[in-house]
């Protein structure tokens, strides 16, 4: 049985990218809000920021040496890889992932942890009515959530937010994944079904812009498509069969229209369309096979999820992969 009088230890993992103007205030508020209530650790992971975020994080470590731990990656690995680096260092009973842009107020962490404890959820996702994200990010989130529902059978109504709380058990299972293409929500959904949701307050971004470009969102989608489902291969096979049948039917009718070794203009047009369509299908198939082969090669070459160049750690207990 759990000791109800024992203070829970919580770890807050924040991937940091070009957030020199916000990360200091976030950490200050988190410490003021949570340090007296929980055994607190804040894990900052600098994903090769292009501004002075690293210097700011080092100063935060020196300011809150008993609370803050800081790790700087050798190269930009992407948000999910940076989060995996933080999760591998987290030792809390509950682990919260939050962004570095102040859209999620630190005071909401209390409610998030309480929801997980009271209902014994392995994961609690958040959602809000108001979002300060750009139209591009909103459309990207809608697409990601829709596709995840199809590929991973995500529960209806569950919004896969980046601001979430996970139990020690869930994180212990997630960090067993050592391949170079992590998708955090995919790892969560394949680990547990004890998932809750919580409505939270969300603010406008205080400064700067989202680090998610179309290229990074595309990379995330590809990780989801190729790393957690065989659906793309099934679609290709089904499409190939469908077009093969369509090609046979079209060929039959084209033969019926050939007279005196001449072909009417409409027949030529149909032939051109058919050839162009089949070529597109072939190129798509080749691209998908190439994507699978490239990922297989990366795995065989033991490409790391991330490489930590610098560590600022006062010796807090690290969670080991099991």
Q: Kindly state whether residues 114 and 237 are assigned to the same domain.
A: no
Q: Kindly state whether residues 193 and 50 are assigned to the same domain.
A: yes
Residue 25 belongs to some domain of the structure: yes
Q: Kindly state whether residues 128 and 275 are assigned to the same domain.
A: no
Residue 321 belongs to some domain of the structure: no
Confidence band (pLDDT; 50, 70, 90) for 150? low
3-class SS at 105?
Answer: coil
Q: Which two tokens stand for residue 253?
A: 């009718």
Question: Looking at the predicted structure, is the pLDDT value of residue 285 above 60?
Answer: yes
**Domain boundaries, position 286:** 231-300
Of 130 and 288, the structure prediction assigns the larger pLDDT to: 288
| pLDDT given at position 294 | 72
Could you give phi then psi for residue 139, rounded to 5 degrees?
-65, -40
Tally of domains in the chain: 2
Residue 27 belongs to some domain of the structure: yes
Exposure string over 32-47, b if 16+ CB within 10 A, otherwise e: ebbeeebbbbbbbbbb
* Range with the poorest average pLDDT among 72-81, 93-102, 287-296: 287-296
Tell me the longest C-alpha to C-alpha distance in the chain: 94
Of 209 and 306, the structure prediction assigns the larger pLDDT to: 306
| pLDDT given at position 244 | 66
Mean pLDDT of 300-321: 75
Q: Kindly state whether residues 278 and 218 are assigned to the same domain.
A: no
3-class SS at 197?
Answer: strand
| pLDDT given at position 214 | 58
Assign residue 88 the CATH number of its domain.
3.90.550.10
Helix (H) or strand (E) holding 238: helix 231-257
Q: Kindly state whether residues 251 and 217 are assigned to the same domain.
A: no
Q: Where is the domain boundary, 198, 228, 258?
A: 228
Q: Where is the domain boundary, 166, 197, 228?
A: 228
Q: Kindly state whether residues 128 and 267 are assigned to the same domain.
A: no
Q: Kindly state whether residues 101 and 55 are assigned to the same domain.
A: yes
* Range with the poorest average pLDDT among 117-121, 163-167, 316-320: 316-320
Residue 286 belongs to some domain of the structure: yes
Residue 318 belongs to some domain of the structure: no
């Amino acid at each position: 049985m759990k000791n109800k009088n024992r203070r829970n230890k919580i770890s807050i993992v924040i991937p940091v990218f070009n957030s020199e103007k916000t990360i200091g205030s976030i950490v200050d508020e988190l410490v003021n809000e949570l340090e007296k209530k929980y055994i607190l650790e804040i894990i900052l992971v600098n994903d090769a920021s292009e501004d002075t975020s690293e210097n700011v994080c080092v100063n935060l470590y020196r300011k809150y040496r008993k609370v803050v731990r800081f790790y700087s990656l050798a190269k930009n690995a992407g948000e999910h890889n940076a989060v995996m680096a933080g999760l591998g260092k987290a030792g809390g009973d509950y682990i919260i992932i939050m962004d570095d842009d102040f859209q999620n107020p630190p005071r909401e962490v209390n409610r998030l942890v309480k929801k997980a404890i009271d209902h014994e959820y392995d994961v609690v996702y958040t959602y809000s009515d108001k979002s300060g994200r750009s139209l591009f990010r909103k459309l990207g989130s809608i697409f990601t959530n829709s596709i995840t529902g199809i590929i991973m059978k995500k529960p209806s109504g569950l919004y896969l937010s980046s601001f979430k709380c996970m139990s020690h058990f869930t994180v212990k299972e997630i960090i067993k994944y050592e391949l170079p293409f992590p998708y955090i929500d995919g790892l969560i959904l394949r680990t547990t079904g004890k998932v809750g949701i919580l409505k939270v307050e969300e603010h406008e971004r205080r400064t700067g812009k989202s680090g998610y470009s179309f290229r990074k969102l595309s990379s995330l989608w590809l990780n989801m498509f190729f790393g957690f489902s065989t659906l793309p291969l099934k679609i290709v096979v089904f499409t190939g069969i469908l077009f093969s049948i369509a090609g046979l039917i079209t060929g039959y009718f084209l033969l019926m229209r050939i007279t005196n070794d001449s072909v009417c203009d409409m027949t030529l047009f149909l032939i051109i369309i058919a050839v162009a369509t089949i070529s597109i299908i072939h190129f798509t198939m080749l691209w998908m096979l190439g994507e699978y082969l490239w990922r297989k090669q990366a795995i065989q070459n033991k490409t790391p999820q991330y490489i930590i160049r610098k560590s600022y750690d006062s010796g807090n207990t690290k969670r080991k992969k099991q």
